[in-house]
Amino acid sequence: TFYSSLKREEIDAALAANESWMAPHHWVPGMSRLVVTIQIWIVQYQGKIVIIDTGVGNRKQRAHARMDNLNTLFLPWLEAIGAAPDKVTHVVNTHLHQDHVGWNTQVVDGVNRPTFPNARYLIPRGDFEHFKKLHENDRKSAGNGFGDSVMPVVDAGLVDFIDGPSELADGLTIEQAHGHTPGMVNLYLNSNGQSGAFCADLFHSPLQMALPDLNSPFCVQPDAARKTRRAFLERVADTQTLVMPMHFGALVCGY
């Protein structure tokens, strides 16, 4: 479901008009349902191992059935590609929605402990303040992720707050992209004449690239989200930038 100035029938018409490239990997016409996945990106660069968002996590109680008490092989998968938890140097949470912070911690003996004990966790301060207030006032509205996946790494002293543009490594930069949430960030990688953009939840579906005024129901600042989305598209269009969102179906990224 998308919130926008468009009526449902207009959105349905837009989906039908774009069926040739949206179906079946991004939209299932027979069900009129969008395909939304959850990605975790790992960057091995200049001696650093950086995880960009940590998904839902295992054994986490979540209101959404598809996210509740998962039991995936995420940790063996990381080790298989040379990114074992103790080798990870940085974790970047682009924003603090529950499907982006879950593996910040893992349940050990019934307690949520940092999954990446040697990493610095980079968290947007604007999001931290926003979701901390929600958590204190109504824990359900914080999506359950704040208490079990954010505060434990803060309490462990592993967090550096993102207050503005910064450089994580030579050619790997962090920039603010607020709108979906008050503090969301994007990451840009420029190396060997190539460029990539980790654009978090600017998009939940490629349809938003064709219709950038479409917001998801989870956009906290709808007008800012639309403005940020359009600015991003204007920035990367025709540049051969590899765009890497978090929620696309296969193929999960593109130029």
Q: What is the mean pLDDT of residues 106-129?
A: 97
Which pairing describes strands 172-176 and 242-244: parallel, antiparallel, or unpaired?
A: unpaired
More confident residue, 66 or 117: 117
The burial class, CB within 10 Å (0-12 / 13-18 / 19+), for 190 is: middle
Q: 150-185 pLDDT, tens per residue?
A: 999 999 999 999 999 999 999 999 999 999 999 999
Measure the CA–CA gap between 85 and 58, rounded to whole angstroms.
Answer: 15
Q: 48-59 pLDDT, tens per residue?
A: 999 999 999 999
Residue type, 154: V
Chain-wide mean pLDDT for the chain?
93
Q: 73-117 pLDDT, tens per residue?
A: 999 999 999 999 999 999 999 999 999 999 999 999 999 999 999
Q: pLDDT band at residue 3, thresholds of 50, 70 and 90?
A: low
Measure the CA–CA gap between 40 and 42, rounded to whole angstroms.
Answer: 7
- Please name the helix (run of DSSP H) or strand (run of DSSP E) that holds residue 43, with its range, or none: strand 41-45
Ranges of beta strands (E only) in 109-209 are: 111-114, 120-124, 159-162, 166-169, 172-176, 185-191, 194-198
Q: pLDDT band at residue 137, thresholds of 50, 70 and 90?
A: confident
What's the length of the chain? 255
Whether the CB-CB separation of 167 and 192 falls below 8 Å is answered with no
Looking at residue 47, what is its pLDDT? 95
- Does position 138 have pLDDT exceeding 90, yes or no? no
The burial class, CB within 10 Å (0-12 / 13-18 / 19+), for 36 is: middle
Measure the CA–CA gap between 71 and 94, rounded to whole angstroms.
Answer: 23
Cα 18 off chain centre by: 25
- Does position 142 have pLDDT exceeding 60, yes or no? no
Q: 194-236 pLDDT, tens per residue?
A: 999 999 999 999 999 999 999 988 899 999 999 999 999 999 9
More confident residue, 10 or 115: 115
